[in-house]
Amino acid sequence: GAVVSQHPSRVICKSGTSVKIECRSLDFQATTMFWYRQFPKKSLMLMATSNEGSKATYEQGVEKDKFLINHASLTLSTLTVTSAHPEDSSFYICSADPGTGTYEQYFGPGTRLTVT
Amino acid sequence: GQQLNQSPQSMFIQEGEDVSMNCTSSSIFNTWLWYKQEPGEGPVLLIALYKAGELTSNGRLTAQFGITRKDSFLNISASIPSDVGIYFCAGPASNFGNEKLTFGTGTRLTIIP
């Protein structure tokens, strides 16, 4: 149980275009999902907390207009990187909290974004 | 803010050896989570700890919730090649119902054939 999927696993896009990444909890409902960014050989950096049916809460320094988050249902959250630039190239990982009050988060396999 | 420091930063061990790593915090945590991340993948939850002094096992892995609530330890016995990866500790960013997690700096485990 507690399986989270992400799509796509890899994406290459041109500078200036937008890219959408989907995160789905496959066998549980998640009122809260999280989006992280990870640089090579570094720890996970939380970008935003996504709550179903409400606006996402962004961490300090993360541009809301650049990283659009939508949590339309209890099993789906999307991250759209708008007007992507090479510096947005990174490994983006989502996680989902099943809401059991245990703080356990289950992670997707990640999306490798390369902006050329 | 809260910071989680992991030690050692990296380990190079031979197959069959036991592994010990720790995670320390500048503040008290009520929950400790240990994750493993393999290259190009998302982290996978290994063990969750909820009580000071608690010792929990998952196969060859054993984790302990430090009695001071400011640290946690992870041990791996008789390491095998598939243990390679980065191990992260994590805990709630606040203890007041906020689900956000703070992640440690990670311990990279490499097994020498």
**CA A68 to chain centroid:** 10
The token pair at A116 is: 């050329």
Query: Is 90 exceeded by the pLDDT of residue B95?
Result: no
How many angstroms away from the CA of A60 is the closest CA of chain B? Answer: 12
Lowest mean pLDDT among A37-46, A97-106, B46-55: A97-106
Query: Is 80 exceeded by the pLDDT of residue B60?
Result: yes
Residues 10-49, chain A, touching B (beta carbon < 8 A): 32, 34, 41-44, 46, 49
* pLDDT tens digits along A59-78: 999 999 999 999 989 999 99
Pick from A11, A9, A42, A21: nearest CA to A116: A11
Query: Is 80 exceeded by the pLDDT of residue B93?
Result: no
Pairing of strands A10-13, A111-115: parallel
Residue A107 sits at the chain B interface (C-beta within 8 Å): yes
**Alpha-carbon distances of A86 from A51, A83, A105, B70, B92, rounded to whole Å:** 29, 10, 29, 39, 32
Q: Cβ contacts (< 8 Å) between A33 and chain B: which residues? A: none
